Structure 1
Amino acid sequence: MTYKTATSVTDLPHSAIQITSPSIADGRIQQVHAKESHGGENRAPGLTVHGLPESARFLSIVADDPDALKPAGKVWVHWNAFNIPARGERVDIAPGAQLDGDLGATSGGGRGWEGMAPPDGEHTYRFAVFASRDPIQVDLTRPWTIEDFERAYGHKTHRKAMIEGRFG
């Protein structure tokens, strides 16, 4: 299986974490992570976060689809998970895993992972992981895009990494 690695984004100080995913091969997200209506099983992708410093005790995951802006009129949020315990320099999240932490709203109105279902062809999906020392008190009733989360809570995080994959 091929892993796509994205090095961390450098707009936060001391960025050094990385994300890999067994769910993204050759830049494409596996079918199993799509909604049932698009031939999938609506299972959350697996992520591995590498290079976490000792001070990182919690992770937040935000996954969105900026290509949804045209058909939906907004960036579509597929996954909001906050305050996931992090122990050690590596955290493995298995595909479809139930996460410890707080599940936030998706654009479709659910909580947890909302499978992909692009209405107009191939879309690029972004997965961002933020590391923090302390839990972050997030409004779980609204879907957070990566940019919205970073604007509101970036000052409470000290590491960020992103990975992208295509589907459709």
Structure 2
Amino acid sequence: MELTSSSIVNGQIQKPHACRGKGGSDQAPQLTVRGLPPEAKFISIVSDDPDAMKPAGRVWVHWNVFDVPAQGELAVAAGQALAGDVGKTTGGGRGYEGMCPPDGVHTYRFAVFASREKLGVDTQVPWTIGDFEARYGGQVLARAQITGRF
């Protein structure tokens, strides 16, 4: 399975995907998922910032969307709402929370997970990639990840 994004250019996440305080518009990035396993019916998206550990004391979750219907390929336009279960971010909101590093450049991770069945993830929890894999990894058929800096 492969994950690409036209919102990440030369390793840099483009400004519209940042928070308003950093000149962005909190717009979710464009994502394309190719090569889903034939038996995969759903994907989940988790985006986090492990560099937030120093200023915030934890990995910061920017986006959780679970059980998005998909087969073969999924193309998500920038800012597009997805037909899945939207989870919380570390900031307490729902949906995509743009990059807003308080202390310089951070590296942000975007991961997609393919599953045969709906996972029924608790959307009240801001899931990091590591926490999601620890809890649901056994139900995941395939995984892909990209990173970008902002």
Partner of 2:104: 121
> What letter matches 1:35 in structure 2?
C
Partner of 1:60: 44
> What letter matches 1:81 in structure 2?
V
In 1, the alpha carbon distance for the partners of 2:121 and 2:68 equals 13
* Counterpart mapping for 1:6-155 below 5 A: 17-87=1-71, 89-155=72-138
Residue aligned with 1:158, SS: strand
Residue aligned with 1:159, SS: strand
In 1, the alpha carbon distance for the partners of 2:73 and 2:119 equals 20
Residue aligned with 1:148, SS: helix
Partner of 1:166: 149
In 2, the alpha carbon distance for the partners of 1:57 and 1:46 equals 20
In 2, the alpha carbon distance for the partners of 1:135 and 1:111 equals 19
CA RMSD of aligned residues (A): 0.5
- 5+ residue gaps, structure 1: 1-16
Residue aligned with 2:48, SS: strand
Aligned residue-pair number: 150
In 2, the alpha carbon distance for the partners of 1:115 and 1:27 equals 16
Shift of 1:138: 0.8
Assess if the C-alpha contact under 8 Å between 2:114 and 2:140 holds in 1. Answer: yes
In 1, the alpha carbon distance for the partners of 2:94 and 2:69 equals 18
Taking structure 1 as the reference length, the TM-score comes to 0.88
Shift of 1:53: 1.7
Assess if the C-alpha contact under 8 Å between 2:37 and 2:141 holds in 1. Answer: no
In 1, the alpha carbon distance for the partners of 2:147 and 2:46 equals 12
Identity across aligned pairs (percent)?
59
Regions of 4+ moved over 2 Å: none
Give the one of 157, 161, 167 matched to 2:140: 157
